[in-house]
Amino acid sequence: MSGLLHPATGDASDRVASTTALSAAGLRATHLLVDHPPPILDDPLALRLLDPAVGRTIRDHPDRSGTPAARTLRAEVVVRSGYAEDRLADAVRSGVGQLVILGAGLDTFAYRQPAWAAKLHIIEVDHAASQRDKQARLRRAGIAPPKNVSYASADLESDALPPRLAAAGMDAGRPAFLACLGVLIYLSEAAADAIVAMAANLPAGSEFVFTFSRPDGSTAGAPVPGSPAARVAAVGEPWRTRFEPDVLARRLRAAGFRSVSLLSAADLTERYLRERTDGLRMPARVVIADAMV
């Protein structure tokens, strides 16, 4: 699962599909094409959703995907989705029957879902422009949405999520698994807090897996030219909100989560990258939070 959201700027009619969602899909596709097996995330559909030239570029210019910066960004995207899907599988075995993907972007889990996910109700949440773009890409690729998928159009910066989820068929009385990957950094702190509060109010047995970034040198002043922060700012999707892990953990517990786990870059490296020989590295600023209701 990996979705990035276009920021809440301008009138709704002016909004366009997320550029960073395209980038995330490209990184998932690159992982299968250039990194060593076995894949951390086996996503053969990501490339099919992209323009044909993307695959040719990846194959013809391996030098671009082999830099330390490219490997780090790619590791971030595939590890966070791999972790979320691993936790989702455990949740389904425990009886959870609903999956909500906040900022779904070009996430493909629903369209390559394993047999164990067949009884899930999957709700993809994103801005309408990004959803229209994704559905057009699915049609061009000949990928039919499965019957257990529905869509909730919402601006995560400004819209109240419970009524949007209810309209998409979410049962507020049943536990759910929420994934919010690579999204909170693009939102205001108030919007991030609203998502946390919504998740904490779900029924017992629900789980909320999300990524956040801790403050680092890129938070002081203007982004360094050429840095990831500068690149996303240049396409109109600037990084906005960071959290200190200890502070966020206290806020999650205060919100009502009964257990909170924070996985650092070192934790994720040990779990997913330790034996790999392709140079994938997790960025130190990224942390995965796993909170249980």
Going from the first residue of the chain to its last (293 residues), give the mean pLDDT of each consecutive group of 10, the final group possibly shorter.
Answer: 43 62 95 96 97 92 92 97 98 98 98 97 96 97 97 96 98 98 94 97 98 75 54 58 95 97 97 96 95 98
Enumerate residues 6+ apart whose C-beta is below 8 A from 250: none
* Distance of alpha carbon 124 from alpha carbon 202, whole angstroms: 17
Give pLDDT, residue 223: 55
Cβ(50)–Cβ(78) under 8 Å?
no
Q: What is the CATH number of the domain that holds 137?
A: 3.40.50.150
Cα→Cα distances 166→100, 151, 191, 259, 278, Å: 11, 11, 19, 26, 43
Note whether residue 258 is domain-resident.
yes
* Other beta carbons within 10 Å of 179: 28
Question: Where are any strands of DSSP class E within the chain?
Answer: 98-102, 121-126, 149-153, 177-180, 207-213, 259-263, 286-292
Note whether residue 4 is domain-resident.
no
Enumerate residues 6+ apart whose C-beta is below 8 A from 63: none
Note whether residue 147 is domain-resident.
yes
Give pLDDT, residue 272: 98
Enumerate residues 6+ apart whose C-beta is below 8 A from 91: 175, 177, 207
* Other beta carbons within 10 Å of 201: 13
Note whether residue 6 is domain-resident.
no
Note whether residue 178 is domain-resident.
yes
Note whether residue 5 is domain-resident.
no
* Helix/strand/coil for 177: strand
Give pLDDT, residue 9: 36
Note whether residue 182 is domain-resident.
yes
Note whether residue 7 is domain-resident.
no
Task: Residue 213: give the domain boundaries.
Answer: 12-292
* Helix/strand/coil for 223: coil
What total of structural domains would you count in the chain?
1
